[in-house]
Structure 1
Amino acid sequence: MKILLSNDDGYQAPGLVALHAALRDLADVEVIAPEHNNSAKSNALTLHSPLSVHGAANGFRYVNGTPADCVHIALTGLLEQPPDLVVSGINNGANMGDDTIYSGTVGAAMEGYLFGIPAIAFSLVDKGWANLDAAAAKARELVQGILAGGLDPNRPFLLNVNVPNRALADIGPFEVCRLGRRHAAEKVIAQASPHGDTLYWIGGAGLPKDGADGTDFHATAQGRVSVTPLHVDLTEHAKLPDWTERVRRFAPTR
């Protein structure tokens, strides 16, 4: 069994190191991660500049690109054979609700899923790496259970997993749930540069808007590990008939 491990916090991040230590006796684990922090890079690929791959002293390899770059080049030429599972994380902070659209952690896992490989993204709910050992243990528990159940190469999956920052004994069971929603992000922060130019910093994420029972926000607030199956079809299927009729009114087919 072979696992490709990546992240978005960079190859030296404590979350990546802890996840590798937790999984390395379950499979042949290959680490290919970004050189620097690439949070909120989503699925971005680097198309207009070359990428280079270097080896670290601990055996990890790192790329001067995005999380999706790392997985993409691993699957299209860097690895001699494709992995059975792609795992991303452990991220320094939550990837719940609307966060998943922006997340580089999820983006790395999704890149594997787009290639037809089962993939899992792991995140800690609160930043700062508190109780990282417990999160790594829960990640191992889930991966080990999935591997024991067998992986069907014809049925890839994409899971988004968030672990509350608690001691292992205080973490509840896994809960399969849907994504919640956040309120709009906070206002942009404007600052003056030493040269008089106005600089802008993206504001913080909004507070939960939909954190009802059954969402990832609710599960983690109760101390449980949220497990959310994702897919990449953004089509609003329920609205297809409505939009077909609306478009036909001003652009009738001939």
Structure 2
Amino acid sequence: MKKPLILVTNDDGITAPGLRALIGYMKKIGDVVVVAPDSPQSGKGHAITIDNTLFSAKLVIDKEEGTPLEYSCSGTPADCVKLALQELLDRRPDICVSGINHGSNSSINVIYSGTMSAAIEAGIEGIPAIGFSLCDYAWDADFEAADDAITSIVQKALEYGIPKGVVLNVNIPKADKEQLKGIKVCRQARANWKEQFDKRKSPSGRDYYWLSGEFELLDQGEDTDEWALSNNYISVVPTQFDLTAHHAIQGLNEWGFTKKS
């Protein structure tokens, strides 16, 4: 049987240790092609390049059997997926995995995440997709603790499929393998960033700003990703890219908008 084709991408850049770890895990499952940014793209969300040129370079060419093809891309994570699907792959991937991100993409962070936006871009194209993040921002973070769980989640997604219009957001707590309690399917916690700007002056006297903030959890539910992570569970949140607030439609119709006959 033909091995599944796995598209691997991220937002931390093609040299990131988290990406290298994910490539290693995916090689156990199928044929791997990597298309990732040539520099860090954290916090870019679903940005795409429309006012500049995109460049891509093939990094690995026909080494030993089983060595993944790797391409760097000068654009955003979403650009990487678009370029992969339209130009670089010779067949449609069976699944797209993004990560492993250095840092959390739980709760409200999913909105800003380049990691998840790459997965969402694949999902928009009808390709099963998963974003993986480790709640450790260190460049030398330990990605090995969750190797079995990551492999299992991808294998199950290939076996059972992911519901249409849904992308999985997987976050892994900073914990040793022995401390991990398992995998928990959750909802996204209600949270926010209490932001502030540090105002400074450049040597030339010009004002500039440095964004900082404090994470504010507004949700004490025990069915959330934040609860799971704080209790050493790997959280899996089914995330949809249809942003329609369906529950609000009826109420808005009661505003009495006029319609032309």
- Flag whether TM exceeds 0.5 (same fold): yes
Q: How does 1:2-81 map to 2 (within 5 A)?
A: 2-56=5-59, 59-81=69-91
Give the counterpart of 2:251 among 239, 242, 249: 242
Give the counterpart of 1:115 among 125, 147, 171: 125
Contact 2:54 2:75 in 1 (8 A): yes
Contact 1:171 1:225 in 2 (8 A): yes
Separation in 2, partners of 1:205, 1:21: 34
SS of 1:60's partner is strand
Aligned residue identity for 2:73: V
Moved more, 102-111 or 72-81: 72-81
Which residue in the other structure is 2:192 paired with? Answer: 183
Separation in 1, partners of 2:142, 2:216: 23
Moved more, 206-215 or 95-104: 206-215
Q: Which runs of 5+ in 2 are unaligned?
A: 61-67
Which residue in the other structure is 1:130 paired with? Answer: 141
Aligned residue identity for 1:168: K
Contact 2:77 2:118 in 1 (8 A): yes
Moved more, 190-199 or 30-39: 190-199
Separation in 2, partners of 1:82, 1:88: 16
SS of 1:228's partner is strand
Q: How does 1:159-238 map to 2 (within 5 A)?
A: 159-238=168-247
Query: What is the CA-CA distance between 1:131 and the residue it aligns to?
Result: 2.5
Which residue in the other structure is 2:95 paired with? Answer: 85
TM-score (norm 1): 0.92
SS of 1:220's partner is helix
Give the counterpart of 2:106 among 81, 96, 99: 96
Query: What is the CA-CA distance between 1:234 and the residue it aligns to?
Result: 1.1
Separation in 1, partners of 2:243, 2:203: 43
SS of 1:207's partner is strand
Query: What is the CA-CA distance between 1:52 and the residue it aligns to?
Result: 0.8
Instruction: Flag the 1:211–1:239 CA change in 2: closer, same or farther, 3 A.
Output: same
TM-score (norm 2): 0.90
CA offsets, 1:40-77, max 9 Å, x none? 11111101111111123585211000000000111112
Greater strand share, structure number? 2
SS of 1:185's partner is strand
Aligned residue identity for 2:103: G
CA offsets, 1:59-101, max 9 Å, x none? 5211000000000111112211110000000000000111101
Separation in 2, partners of 1:150, 1:214: 23
Moved over 4 A (4+): 251-254
Query: What is the CA-CA distance between 1:132 and the residue it aligns to?
Result: 1.2
Q: Which runs of 5+ in 1 are unaligned?
A: none
Separation in 2, partners of 1:123, 1:49: 29
SS of 2:49's partner is coil
Contact 2:188 2:225 in 1 (8 A): yes
Give the counterpart of 1:144 among 151, 155, 163: 155
Moved more, 124-133 or 192-201: 124-133
Moved more, 164-173 or 110-119: 164-173
Separation in 2, partners of 1:108, 1:183: 22
Number of aligned positions between the proteins? 250
Identity of aligned residues (%): 37
Instruction: Flag the 1:36–1:162 CA change in 2: closer, same or farther, 3 A.
Output: same
Contact 1:132 1:165 in 2 (8 A): no
